Amino acid sequence: MNQQGLSNHRIPLSSLEAIRVISNAVVVGRKFVLNSPDYKALFLRAEAERRQAEELRRQTEEQERHEEELQRQTEERGAREAV
């Protein structure tokens, strides 16, 4: 299994998950390295959640831009009709 330094990743863990993962960790040099077989699953889940949150943020921004464009077009139409 590949070893990953904990300092490279921020993974939201429940207290029990954190205790279980940390109990399987070792110190290599000055790095805290996780050897847990559960780490990969936790990391993949956290990455999937991060990607999902990023996609939702991107979609929300895109929808806001679209709504702003529709509002601008409506205002332009109203201004042309008033002339």
Q: What is the pLDDT along the chain (83 residues), one digit of tens a residue?
A: 444 444 455 555 566 666 666 665 555 555 555 566 667 777 778 888 889 999 999 999 999 999 999 999 999 998 888 87
For residue 1, give the amino acid letter. M
Distance of CA 13 to the CA centre of its chain: 14
Both tokens of 76, joined, read 């332009």
23: which residues sit within 8 A by CB, 6+ positions away? none
What pTM, to 2 d.p., does this model score? 0.49
Both tokens of 23, joined, read 């109990």
Both tokens of 12, joined, read 């939201």
Element (H, E) at 3: none
6 touches 32 (CB < 8 A): yes
